[in-house]
Structure 1
Amino acid sequence: MDKKRIAVPSNHPGGLTGERSEHFGHCDLFTLVDIEHGKISAVDTLINEAHGAGGCMGPVHLLRQHGVDAIVVAGIGARPLQGFAEQGINVHFAVRQAEQRIEDLVRDFIADRLPRMDPSQACQAHGKCHGHAH
């Protein structure tokens, strides 16, 4: 696929120079980045829904509605990870200590340096994610 739209959970105000959020379900917004032929072609932001609206599946449906093909996270629960899989959205993992700037994460994604997550990497409970507290 020559064109992809990826989402990065972001702290306000988002955008390429913004900072990533550590947990997708509680982020302020998502930075949406369109990539065409290995280059960034467009950037937009999308306000996250309140966590109560649809629970942890709310962001899954929101991102699907906005044509997202992949999301880059530092941690995610098993239920939304499965939800993204069911919607055909790939989930890529970038450790918390990795780049904090969204543009750097996008460049890592383009360079295929961010592995896809599998269910064994999902958070098992609130507050316990890859051995790090939220």
Structure 2
Amino acid sequence: MARRFFGFICTAIMTASMGWATSPQKAEDQTATGKFLTATEVKPILAATQGNWVAVREYNGQDLVYFTHLLAWRCGLYEISFSINGQQQQNFEVPACDPDAAAPGAIPDTATIYLEYPLNSVQTISVSLLYDDLSTQTVTFERANIMTP
């Protein structure tokens, strides 16, 4: 795990709404709730677990790209977008966060948690997050550093 967390090659950029200038979202109140519902609460967790944001698994002749970790910490996020091998950014569907639920971060059974690609086709993944305070963060991961057994 240490190799995976510290050994990955990444570029992290944190800015205020860069790349989402036309976004219709407004900054949310950042009052801490203790339930990890705001950017203020989830940013430290996502920063500490950055090496786990996405994972690649070779399964049944395909590359599966998992977004499970980000979905579990989606409260406090407006948007997850990604790019495979430097191609155009795509949005990843983020289920709504229910702040009144006992476990607001629980991933709904109907949520898409991974995407399928041809085997060995995913070499890099750039992931961009738009937080609910309108700040952004982008990290690029190399395949070898996010492979799961």
Could you tell me the TM-score, scaled by structure 2's length?
0.27
For the pair shown, the structure with the greater C-alpha radius of gyration is 2
Could you tell me the TM-score, scaled by structure 1's length?
0.29
Higher relative contact order (CA 8 A, sep 6+): 2
Higher strand share: 2
